[in-house]
């Protein structure tokens, strides 16, 4: 008996029409790519011819292979700048490559690129460590009996301090997420809390005009209040560790128009900076200066920003560009100065001098490229980017020219685009980005070295009060009047995670390691 073959397979028919032929996979065009360094625009390697569908990870591996300077592979972020005629106002000015050049650039809605072009890909090295974005509220801590006005992590990220309208500051332990101490002593709202960069002391400033120092280990006050201001204290800033490791001084600015610098050893006011004619809103202690001895930056409601020499307290510059109150000020070195000798590796320092050299090393690594930059934001809806002390490696011509003109340095850039008052501006820890929040419900991201506009982050439905960057500069979080926090993804310029949970306006937010802390009008701390 011969074997019967099974009948041939019936062809599948759709309503009497045979199935279409399967499409052959699309050929990916080959393109010429030139990798350039984002800082100086120098080519990292000769132009290479690649298939357009090489993934982002493939590009990163390729750049690390071609770039012979660094031994260890470095993570890179890639972006392509849109040509000026293809950008629509308000849209991002650059395309970040998240998947591959083919998917992100060639199929970009602006159709600015064809496979014939030479693609200039800007590579910016990223932090070696990665911060996990917060996704949920792990604990809600109540304890304050009135709105929380300020929150700040300690430099190592083990403790959190919050100040509130109930005249108390509180310390929280972040490992157990429990309250550790109540710091009571102020007679008015606690408006600002600031950690010394070695985590040995905590300073709080109150509506009563007093500045108080606390020992964070015991929660006891160190001596009595530092009195001298006639109105409330608006902000505090410690002297950087790399200038004074053993006993850094503290600067406090006040509504009475003065800035006082206190010695923590003698508990006396070393000198007072008068000169502003209205409330001083922010004070920052920068690490650079003409002789590297430190400078004080103060921003005031008299529309000026003043720069002082921190050694004797003599005025160096007055910046009069803003047309309204200057309410916020940020340095590209803020994060390094605030964390002092502590980096993401978490090793302990044994002596003050070792801490000093570590802090100085971290500071110089950041300043060597662009110098200490400053961004001021004002109620006139604009921001200015200033470079007052060019980096020590660059030529002395710029500083000499500035000295000739009586120190009137012009701003590098005017950052316009907000439609309402600017509430907060913050540099990312690596100084590459700056973000500004405003009362127009938006957050804008700028290039931290040139001040060029990068993108607008929209999503809040009310004024945005505060911003905080993650330590690796990859995530930005914003706190708003609409009672939410939003974490933004800087590759797509879209919301990464929305963190609801507060029942009223969120006034303060801070980011450390992979913990995020927020406090607001609903009197609870969430992390």
DSSP for 123-174, written as a single string: EEE--SS-PPPP-S---EEE--SS-EEEEEE-TTSSEEEEEETTSEEEEEET
Q: What is the pTM of this model?
A: 0.77
What would the two tokens of residue 83 be?
Answer: 């040509």
Long-range CB contacts for residues 289-295, cutoff 8 Å, separation at least 24: 289/389, 290/316, 290/389, 290/399, 292/392, 293/243, 294/239, 294/240, 294/243, 295/389
What would the two tokens of residue 210 be?
Answer: 């007093």
What would the two tokens of residue 285 be?
Answer: 């202690």
pLDDT, tens digit, 9 for 90 and up, residues 177-229: 888 888 888 888 888 888 888 888 889 988 888 888 998 888 888 888 888 88
Q: Residue 456 in 3-state DSSP? A: strand
Element (H, E) at 299: strand 295-300
Residue whose token pair is 């907000």: 418
User: What pLDDT score was predicted for residue 400?
Assistant: 47
Residue 40 CB neighbours (<10 A): 7
User: What pLDDT score was predicted for residue 391?
Assistant: 53
Strands 464-469 and 475-480: antiparallel
- The list of the chain residues with pLDDT below 70 reads 1, 16, 18-26, 40, 68-72, 84-90, 128-129, 289-292, 341, 343-350, 390-409, 513
| Rounded CA separation 242/335 (Å) | 14
| Rounded CA separation 60/54 (Å) | 10
Separation in Å, CA 91 to CA 24, 53, 61, 453, 475: 36, 25, 30, 10, 20
User: What pLDDT score was predicted for residue 85?
Assistant: 67
């Amino acid at each position: 008996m011969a074997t019967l073959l099974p009948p041939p397979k019936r062809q599948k028919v759709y309503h009497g029409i045979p199935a279409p032929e399967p499409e052959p996979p699309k050929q990916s065009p080959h393109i010429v790519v030139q990798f350039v360094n984002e800082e100086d625009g120098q080519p990292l390697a000769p132009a290479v011819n690649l298939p357009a569908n090489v993934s982002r990870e493939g590009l990163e591996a390729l750049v690390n292979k071609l770039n012979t300077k660094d031994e260890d592979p470095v993570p890179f972020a890639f972006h392509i700048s849109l040509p000026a005629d293809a950008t629509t106002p308000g849209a991002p000015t650059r395309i970040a490559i998240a998947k591959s050049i083919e998917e992100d650039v060639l199929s970009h809605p602006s159709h600015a690129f064809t496979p014939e072009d030479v693609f200039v890909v800007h590579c910016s090295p990223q932090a070696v460590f990665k911060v996990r974005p917060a996704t949920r509220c792990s604990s809600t801590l109540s304890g304050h009996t009135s709105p929380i006005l300020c929150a700040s992590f300690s430099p190592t990220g083990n403790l959190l301090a919050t100040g509130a309208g109930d005249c108390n500051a509180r310390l929280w332990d972040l490992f157990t997420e429990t309250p550790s101490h109540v710091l009571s002593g102020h007679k008015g709202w606690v408006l600002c809390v600031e950690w010394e960069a070695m985590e040995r002391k905590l300073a709080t400033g109150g509506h009563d005009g007093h500045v108080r120092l606390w020992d964070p280990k015991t929660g006891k006050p160190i001596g009595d209040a530092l009195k001298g201001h006639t109105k409330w204290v608006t902000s505090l800033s410690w002297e950087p560790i790399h200038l004074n490791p053993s006993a850094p001084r503290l600067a406090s600015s006040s509504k009475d128009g003065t800035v006082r610098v206190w010695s923590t050893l003698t508990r006396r006011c070393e000198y007072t900076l008068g000169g502003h004619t209205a409330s001083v809103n922010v004070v920052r202690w920068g690490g650079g200066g003409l002789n590297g001895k430190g400078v004080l930056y103060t921003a005031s409601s008299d529309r000026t920003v003043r720069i002082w020499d921190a050694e004797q307290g003599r005025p160096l510059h007055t910046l009069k560009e803003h047309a309204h109150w200057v309410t916020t000020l940020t340095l590209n070195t803020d994060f390094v100065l605030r964390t002092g000798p502590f980096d993401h590796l978490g090793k302990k320092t044994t002596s003050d001098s070792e801490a000093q050299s570590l802090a100085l090393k971290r500071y110089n690594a950041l300043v060597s490229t662009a110098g200490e930059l400053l961004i001021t934001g004002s109620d006139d809806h604009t921001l200015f980017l200033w470079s007052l002390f060019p980096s020590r490696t660059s030529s002395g011509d710029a500083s000499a020219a500035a000295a000739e003109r009586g120190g009137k340095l012009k701003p590098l850039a005017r950052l316009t685009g907000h439609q309402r008052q600017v509430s907060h501006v913050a540099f990312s820890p690596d100084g590459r980005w700056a973000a500004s929040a405003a009362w127009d419900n938006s957050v804008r991201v700028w290039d931290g070295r040139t001040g060029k506009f990068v993108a607008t982050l929209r999503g809040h439905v009310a004024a945005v009060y505060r911003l905080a960057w993650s330590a690796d500069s990859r995530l930005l979080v914003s706190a708003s009047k609409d009672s939410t926090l939003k974490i933004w993804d800087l590759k797509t310029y879209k919301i990464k995670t929305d963190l609801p949970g507060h029942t009223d306006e969120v006034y303060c937010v801070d980011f450390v390691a992979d913990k995020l802390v927020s406090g607001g009008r609903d009197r609870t701390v969430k992390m």
